[in-house]
C-alpha cells in the first residue's frame, strides 16, 4: 500500500519543472499536496521568515492526526 500511495503523487511531481522555484510557489505546491492527499501528506510549520513560513513535508502510508 505504501508504494501505491507514492504512485498517486507521481503526477504532481511530474508537473514540477525542477528549475528554481520561489518560496511562495513551493509553499503553494506543498499545501496543494497536503490538501489533495491529506490521508498521506502533512506539513509541519518549522518557523517563519520575514515574508513566508517554512515547512517540512511528511509523507506517510496513512496519516492519523496526532502522529509524529
Residue of higher predicted confidence among 37 and 53 = 37
The DSSP line for 1-56 is -HHHHHHHHHHHHHT---S---HHHHHHHHHHHHHHTTTTEEEEEEEE-SSSEEEE
pLDDT tens figures, 2-31: 566 667 777 777 766 677 767 788 888 888
Amino acid at each position: 500500500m505504501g508504494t501505491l500511495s507514492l504512485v498517486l503523487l507521481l503526477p504532481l511531481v511530474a508537473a514540477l519543472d525542477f528549475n528554481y522555484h520561489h518560496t511562495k510557489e513551493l509553499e503553494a505546491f506543498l499545501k496543494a499536496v497536503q490538501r489533495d492527499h491529506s490521508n498521506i501528506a502533512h506539513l509541519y510549520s518549522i518557523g517563519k521568515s520575514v515574508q513566508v513560513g517554512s515547512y517540512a513535508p511528511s509523507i506517510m502510508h496513512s496519516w492519523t492526526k496526532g502522529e509524529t
